[in-house]
Amino acid sequence: MDVEAYFQQEIDERIIKGRYNRALIGEKLNLALIVDLHGILVQDLGIDRNIRKWKVGISGSNYLPLDNDFQIREALEEIVVLINNESNVISKSLLALVLISYIQPFADGNKRTARMISNAILMHHLYRPLSYRTVDAMDYKKVMLVFYEKNNISPMKSLFIRNLNLP
């Protein structure tokens, strides 16, 4: 098993065994759970676990995420409401994936956090989690850049549905 696979398995086990799979999606998603889950994912990596308070950039993109922790917090609270109000599980999972990534609330680990929340939503509703090891990294980056720069979710939706392991 390579290092990345081992690391991902460790994270999956912590989340599945911990309170996050049940609490995260068994009840309503909330800001504290997003921050807590991010903290688990970046534990021991030397990455700030809190909502960032400075500008970040996205490699290969002109997109500039929010740069004020108050605006970031407000945006996260708004997407939590949007995700919680969505009744379709697939849409709920896709929204979590793209919107948390889009906001870039943390210094690092944003896409990891978004993927884990997205998968927790799927797993809670008895869908298999998406395995991002089967998704070409360049394809993933391209569809995310289209979303970041053009606010077009269609390419990501197509990639998401193609790789969804329906039960």
The rounded distance, in Å, linking the Cα atoms of 141 and 83 is: 23
* Whole-angstrom Cα Rg for the chain: 15
pTM of the model: 0.82
155's tokens: 């390419």
Structural domains of the chain, with CATH = 3-163 (1.10.3290.10)
pLDDT in tens, the chain (167 residues): 554 555 556 555 655 555 444 445 556 888 988 998 888 888 888 778 789 988 888 888 889 999 899 999 999 999 999 999 999 999 999 999 999 999 999 998 898 899 999 988 888 888 888 887 888 888 988 999 999 999 999 999 999 998 886 65
